[in-house]
Structure 1
């Protein structure tokens, strides 16, 4: 199997070096997944533009999607990263585990989002009428639908890239469930 190296700042383009500097200032480091994306002249900037795009969904809703999709795709890197991010945004350890299991008892609206996201990720975009009806009944809109799918696409890309290149996890490793 091919081994991939995670590029350092000195091994990426000047444009990506500037992004590395910004990430280091904001996060204290450049996550390994982002570092590998910088193997492409435009990949990291394009990914970050999508990741940081405005959304109708709040941070907890985004993290539900991130954790569900990463779990379904088996990406332990993203599961670990988004477990840490979720905790920084007020989601407890117990709630993270519920989200990762895909059945949320602490918030009915988030549970409707989780069920919808599970259908999308498991069925490559096909969703059951029940999951779709529950999504809208919970208060989500057509805008929410589009924004949810954008996050699913973003997370799927990252999950697939990490599966192929197997970057080392540089976040606290999330427990297996």
Structure 2
């Protein structure tokens, strides 16, 4: 069985070492997911540029999409990371579990976003007409729709990387959820 390892700073290129240093300064550590991207000369920089691009969506909305996408794609690493980030963005444990189950009953607009993101991910981009209408009826725009797809793409890349490699999760594990999800 292939064992995938996370590189340490001294095992990556000078360019990636500089990115590690920036991450260390900004976050206090280099998350294993980011470190793994550094096995490729350009992937970490490219990924960080994608993550840090300007968006029409608020940080809280991006966390909704990250949690929904990671739940559907079954990525334990990203669920752990975005549970922590979701809390930093003001979500409660109960709200995070609800988002992962496919609902934001506490906020009508976010609930439309949850349904839309879940429909996009579950249906490989062919969101249901109902979820699209709810999304636009909630006040979102076509510019927002493009950003939703970009966030889903960003998160799907990370989900797939961790699902392929299963390297160590360096965030507190996300609580397992039981029961029915809306997708």
Above 0.5 in TM-score?
Answer: yes
Q: Who is 2:23 aligned against?
A: 23
Displacement of 1:116 in angstroms is 0.4
1:115 aligns with 2:115: yes
Displacement of 1:77 in angstroms is 0.3
**What is the aligned-residue RMSD (CA, Å)?**
0.5
**Whole-angstrom CA distance in 2 between matches of 1:172 and 1:93:** 13
Q: Who is 1:94 aligned against?
A: 94
**Whole-angstrom CA distance in 1 between matches of 2:86 and 2:37:** 22
Name segments (4+ residues, structure 1) moved above 3 Å.
none
Q: Who is 1:58 aligned against?
A: 58
Deviations 1:68-118 (A, max 9, x none): 000000000000000000101111111111111111110010000000000
Q: Who is 1:74 aligned against?
A: 74
Which sections of structure 2, spanning at least 5 residues, go unmatched? Answer: 178-183
In the TM superposition, 1:28-177 aligns within 5 A as 28-177=28-177
Deviations 1:4-50 (A, max 9, x none): 11000000000000000000001010000100000000000000000
Deviations 1:132-170 (A, max 9, x none): 000000000010000000000000000000011112110
TM-score if structure 2 supplies the norm length? 0.96
**Whole-angstrom CA distance in 2 between matches of 1:165 and 1:38:** 14
TM-score if structure 1 supplies the norm length? 0.99
**Whole-angstrom CA distance in 2 between matches of 1:90 and 1:130:** 28
Aligned residues: 177
Which sections of structure 1, spanning at least 5 residues, go unmatched? Answer: none
* SS at structure 2 position matched to 1:2: coil
Displacement of 1:128 in angstroms is 1.0
